[in-house]
């Protein structure tokens, strides 16, 4: 998906290509609506006494299983874990390695939530061609792929490339 500078500015402000008119439940036989709802529910469990910034995520496995996660902060800031990594780690711990989609939720009302760089790379570990739903509390969302979020990325296949 090619984007102009203006489109990117709008996306950074959370205003680009957000599905604000179509009901979430109309997308993919209610699955995406359920995924977004689960991500919003997951943020209720966030442990964020330092930032007060709640994030929830829900990842969809190919068989329809949904795994949720929330951010968990730590007094040693670098030891915290993001909601996206929590949800994916839960799925991986149950044997899943491929995903159809992930939805991410926060309390930001004026803009969509976007994953941090570390989470983008973590998602990329499990493929570049799956959907990411960046949401707002009202249920509106921006659908992107992992590849769009992390273009020209480094992944598992790169480790198998020719070396000097």
Residues annotated as catalytic are 84
**Binding site for Zn(2+): which residues?**
82, 116, 119
**Binding site for substrate: which residues?**
71-77
Q: What are the residue ranges of helices labelled H in the chain?
A: 5-12, 31-42, 83-93, 117-124, 146-149
**Binding site: which residues?**
71-77, 82, 116, 119
User: Long-range CB contacts (< 8 A, 24+ apart) of 145-151?
Assistant: 145/1, 146/120, 148/1, 149/114, 149/115, 149/120, 149/123, 150/117, 150/120, 150/121, 150/123, 150/124
């Amino acid at each position: 998906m090619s984007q102009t500078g203006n489109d990117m500015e709008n996306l950074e402000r959370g205003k680009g290509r957000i599905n604000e008119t179509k009901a979430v439940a109309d997308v993919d036989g209610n699955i995406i609506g359920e995924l977004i709802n689960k991500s919003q529910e997951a943020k209720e469990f966030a442990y964020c006494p330092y930032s007060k910034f709640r994030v929830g995520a829900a990842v969809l496995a190919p068989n329809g299983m949904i795994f949720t996660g929330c951010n968990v902060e730590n007094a040693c800031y670098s030891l915290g874990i993001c909601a996206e990594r929590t949800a994916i780690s839960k799925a991986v711990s149950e044997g899943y390695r491929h995903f159809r989609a992930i939805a991410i939720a926060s309390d930001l009302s004026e803009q969509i939530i976007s994953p941090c760089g570390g989470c983008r790379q973590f998602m990329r570990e499990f493929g570049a061609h799956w959907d990411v739903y960046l949401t707002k509390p009202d249920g509106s969302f921006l659908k992107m792929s992992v590849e769009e979020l992390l273009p020209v990325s480094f992944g598992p296949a790169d480790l198998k490339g020719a070396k000097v």
